[in-house]
């Protein structure tokens, strides 16, 4: 998915929000905001939004000499979800369709995203997970995804956010982990999952974990790691979580099941669904 003009305001808001969050220096906030404005004036609209967003985040954090500023928040939300995991397991086990219940929780967990316009709080996570159990799917059905998974011999599951990864684990446990390999980002970017999050979530003891080789909140196939590309080519089905993975992989010809909440108006329009929708988009399947 290319970058749209509407993305400019989101990039700028994100830059200002990030600068204010990690620095109290007003002069620095103004300086970095002006630098990002200059970058946006030269932006290549054919590139994907996550590529542009990654450049902005890297520029701000390199200026502040911060390697992983979202690390504590990632750990906080992983622990929050791990504390809730026993309750969610009970709900899934008691559901008339454990597959659909686990799927709804996994997609609902996609709300844990510090790169969007929401003010992220634990209360918002609780509310979203509760509503996700009865929310309408505006695109795709759990049954269609279930059939695809049953037919696939090998599945590459590309994660998105911290906390959410615990619910990805629950979904994979419910389906059966034998078919799955899980992919994380190659280095910290925003609150996207890295290997440490897979370890905290206990996912690395359940399935093989690989990384993309990239510090991008998505996957750019042209520069992904060899290990990731080998798994990508070998898998019968890819499950890609979240908007960033959709934005970077929506043009691929590979069978991909995109599971996400359409938090952004541009992504929602691209998918032809209402903003905020729970989405199961089965591409080339």
| Closest C-alpha to 240, from 3, 224, 226, 43 | 224
Q: pLDDT tens-digit profile of 39-55? A: 999 989 999 999 999 99
The pairing of beta strand 256-261 with beta strand 278-283: antiparallel
Q: What is the dihedral of CA 249, 250, 253, 257, to 10 degrees?
A: 90
Q: pLDDT tens-digit profile of 166-210? A: 999 999 999 999 999 999 999 999 999 999 999 999 999 999 999
What are the start-end ranges of the E strands in the chain?
A: 137-139, 155-158, 180-184, 209-211, 237-241, 256-261, 278-283
What backbone torsions phi and psi does residue 180 show, to the nearest 5 degrees? -100, 145
- pTM equals 0.95
Q: pLDDT tens-digit profile of 141-162? A: 999 999 999 999 999 999 999 9
Quick one: pLDDT band at residue 124, thresholds 50, 70, 90? Answer: confident
Q: pLDDT tens-digit profile of 240-275? A: 999 999 999 999 999 999 999 999 999 999 999 999
Please, is 109 exposed, middle or buried when counting C-beta atoms within 10 Å of its C-beta (0-12, 13-18, 19+)?
buried
CB proximity list for 192: less than 8 A, separation 6 or greater: 159, 160, 161, 162, 184, 185, 217, 244
Quick one: pLDDT band at residue 117, thresholds 50, 70, 90? Answer: low
Q: pLDDT tens-digit profile of 1-36? A: 999 989 999 999 989 989 998 999 999 999 999 999
19 CB-side CA count, 13 A: 22
pLDDT at 120 over 80: no
Share of the chain above pLDDT 70, in %: 99
Q: What is the pLDDT of residue 43?
A: 87
Residues 137-144, mean pLDDT to the nearest whole number? 96
Q: pLDDT tens-digit profile of 245-254? A: 999 999 999 9
End-to-end Cα, the chain, rounded Å:
19
d(CA 125, CA 51) in angstroms, rounded, equals 26
d(CA 75, CA 99) in angstroms, rounded, equals 27
Please, is 18 exposed, middle or buried when counting C-beta atoms within 10 Å of its C-beta (0-12, 13-18, 19+)?
buried
Angstrom distances, CA of residue 82 to CA of 85, 147, 150: 5, 29, 27
């Amino acid at each position: 998915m290319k970058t749209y003009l509407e993305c400019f305001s989101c990039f700028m808001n994100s830059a200002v929000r990030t600068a204010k969050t990690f620095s109290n220096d007003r002069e620095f906030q103004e300086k970095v905001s002006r630098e990002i404005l200059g970058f946006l004036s030269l932006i290549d609209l054919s590139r994907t939004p996550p590529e542009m967003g990654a450049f902005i985040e890297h520029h701000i954090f390199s200026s502040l000499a911060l390697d992983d500023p979202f690390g504590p928040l990632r750990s906080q939300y992983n622990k929050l979800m791990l504390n809730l995991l026993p309750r969610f397991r009970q709900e899934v086990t008691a559901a008339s369709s454990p597959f659909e219940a686990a799927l709804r929780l996994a997609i609902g967990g996609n709300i844990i995203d510090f790169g969007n316009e929401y003010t992220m709080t634990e209360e918002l996570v609780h509310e979203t997970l509760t509503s996700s159990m009865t929310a309408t799917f505006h695109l795709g059905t759990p049954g269609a995804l279930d059939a695809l998974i049953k037919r696939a011999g090998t599945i590459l599951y590309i994660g998105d956010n911290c906390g959410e990864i615990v619910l990805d684990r629950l979904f994979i446990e419910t389906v059966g982990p034998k078919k799955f390999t899980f992919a994380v980002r190659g280095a910290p970017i925003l609150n996207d999952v890295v290997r440490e999050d897979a370890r905290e979530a206990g996912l690395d003891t359940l399935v093989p974990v690989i990384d993309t080789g990239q510090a991008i909140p998505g996957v750019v196939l042209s520069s992904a790691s060899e290990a990731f590309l080998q798994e990508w080519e070998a898998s019968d089905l890819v499950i890609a979580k979240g908007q960033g993975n959709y934005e970077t992989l929506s043009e691929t010809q590979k069978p991909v099941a995109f599971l996400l909440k359409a938090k952004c108006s541009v992504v929602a329009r691209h998918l032809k669904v209402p903003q905020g929708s729970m989405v199961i988009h089965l591409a080339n399947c």
